[in-house]
Amino acid sequence: MTNDERNEKICKLRRRGFTTVQISRQMKVTRSTVCGVLHRAGLTSEKKGRPRTKPPKLSARPKRFPNAIVEGLKDVRALELEPIPLGTDSGCQWVHGDPRDHVMCGHTPHRRSAWCPHHYARVYQEVM
**pLDDT over 80 at 18, yes or no:** yes
pTM of the model: 0.37
Q: Has residue 60 been placed in a domain?
A: no
For residues 31 and 73, state if they share a domain. no
For residues 36 and 92, state if they share a domain. no
For residues 34 and 83, state if they share a domain. no
**pLDDT over 50 at 72, yes or no:** no
Q: Has residue 59 been placed in a domain?
A: no
Which residues have C-beta within 8 Å of that of residue 72, sequence separation ≥ 6?
Answer: 127, 128
The residue-averaged pLDDT of 37-63 equals: 69
pLDDT of residue 109: 87
**pLDDT over 90 at 82, yes or no:** no
Look up the domain containing 119 and give its range: 66-128
**Are residues 23 and 30 in contact, defined by beta-carbon separation less than 8 angstroms?**
no
Q: Has residue 46 been placed in a domain?
A: no
Q: Has residue 48 been placed in a domain?
A: no
Distance of alpha carbon 64 from alpha carbon 99, whole angstroms: 26
Q: Has residue 98 been placed in a domain?
A: yes
